[in-house]
């Protein structure tokens, strides 16, 4: 059932849809020169990071300050992105929203990566029926889309920022385990592990010395690539109304709140929506760039 288990020739991996990667001879030149889109995307992502870090200094208003005199105002000088149905300033909420998006995204990916590392290592190193059972477990996790899994975890955990981080993190364990296991298998083939066994070096030491270094780097690449997925899932939860609770300035929540007023105050949904979309597009370009540079055997397609 798993992607690797198919007996068919692997589907062709996806070369970049954009401009073809430059020839090897130009490898020397900096990645920023070779990939202008990547550079622009990285700058955008960095801008979000800065806005999130310095939100209180950048935002013109308190993001949860309600004002009955300024409800649903279209974008103007006083409120560059308009106000919402409680008279809260959308620009300030969008800036603070970057905080929530990035914090939730980064922490949940870290949870997913940690879980994936443990299960993936165990599956890759155990062999025999334990490996088989762990693989089926991974298949089972992968049988549920991450949003559905996150919904199920939210059902148990309840709502709130911390709950969303855990739910989204747990929902990402499956894909991480699969890639970690694949990397472990590759290291195993190279023979260090068996050699170490023969020299009766303790397993933990083998794992630390030989396996982890070969697994951690690709895992780090995966982490950066999957941050955008985590942000999308968490804002989806909020959009569904089961993620973080109002009046937290979360983009998904803001988009959902604006949905009912879309016919006469479309900016309420559109502004936080574009903030989210821009970040996701920037992160996915950054992710593609990192993947193509450091992870030549792209694992995402299969």
List, as one string, the DSSP characters of 111-151. HHHHHHHHHHHHHHHH-HHHHHHHHHHHHHHHTS-HHHHHH
Task: Please identify, among the stretches 70-78, 105-113, 118-126, 269-277, the one whose residues bind another protein according to the rule CB under 8 A.
Answer: 269-277
Taking the least distance from each CB to another protein, the nearer of 167 and 187 is 167
Is residue 178 a contact partner of residue 300, using CB atoms and an 8 Å limit? no
- Under rule CB under 8 A, residue 127 binds another protein: no
**Binding residues for another protein restricted to 140-199, rule: CB under 8 A:** 140, 142-148, 151-152, 154-156, 158
SS3 for 198? helix
Is residue 266 a contact partner of residue 255, using CB atoms and an 8 Å limit? no
Taking the least distance from each CB to another protein, the nearer of 206 and 268 is 268
Is residue 98 a contact partner of residue 275, using CB atoms and an 8 Å limit? yes
Closest distance to another protein from the beta carbon of 70 (Å): 22
Task: Please identify, among the stretches 62-70, 187-195, 217-225, 282-290, the one whose residues bind another protein according to the rule CB under 8 A.
Answer: 282-290
Radius of gyration over every alpha carbon of the chain, rounded to an integer in angstroms: 22
CA distance 84 to 261: 9
| Site residues (vs another protein, CB under 8 A) | 1, 3, 5-9, 11-12, 14-15, 17-19, 136-137, 139-140, 142-148, 151-152, 154-156, 158, 228, 232, 235-236, 239-242, 252, 255, 258-259, 262-263, 266, 269-270, 273-274, 276-277, 280-281, 283-285, 288, 301
């Amino acid at each position: 059932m798993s992607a690797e288990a198919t007996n068919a020739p692997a589907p062709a991996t996806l070369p970049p849809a954009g401009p073809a990667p430059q020839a090897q001879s130009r490898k020397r030149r900096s990645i920023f020169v070779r990939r202008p889109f990547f550079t622009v995307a990285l700058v955008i992502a960095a801008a979000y990071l800065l806005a999130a870090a310095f939100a209180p200094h950048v935002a013109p208003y308190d993001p949860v300050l309600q004002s009955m005199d300024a409800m649903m105002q279209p974008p103007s000088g006083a409120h560059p992105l308009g106000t919402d149905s409680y008279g809260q300033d959308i620009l300030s909420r969008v800036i603070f929203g970057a905080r929530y998006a990035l914090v939730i995204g980064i922490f949940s990916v870290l949870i997913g990566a940690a879980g994936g590392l443990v299960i993936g290592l165990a599956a890759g190193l155990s062999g025999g029926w334990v490996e088989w059972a762990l693989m089926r477990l991974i298949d089972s996790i992968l049988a549920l889309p991450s949003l559905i899994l996150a919904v199920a975890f939210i059902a148990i955990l309840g709502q709130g920022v911390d709950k969303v981080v855990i739910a989204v993190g747990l929902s990402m364990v499956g894909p991480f385990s699969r890639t970690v296991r694949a990397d472990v298998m590759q290291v195993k083939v190279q023979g260090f592990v068996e050699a170490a066994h023969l020299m009766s070096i303790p397993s933990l030491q083998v794992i630390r010395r030989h396996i982890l270094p070969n697994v951690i780097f690709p895992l780090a690449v995966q982490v950066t690539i999957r941050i955008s997925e985590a942000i999308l899932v968490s804002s989806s939860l909020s959009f569904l109304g089961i993620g973080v609770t109002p009046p937290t300035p979360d983009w998904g929540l803001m988009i959902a709140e604006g949905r009912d007023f879309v016919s006469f105050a479309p900016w309420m949904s559109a502004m936080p929506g574009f903030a989210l979309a821009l970040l996701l597009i920037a992160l996915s370009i950054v992710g593609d760039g990192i993947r193509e540079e450091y992870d030549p055997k792209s694992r995402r397609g299969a």
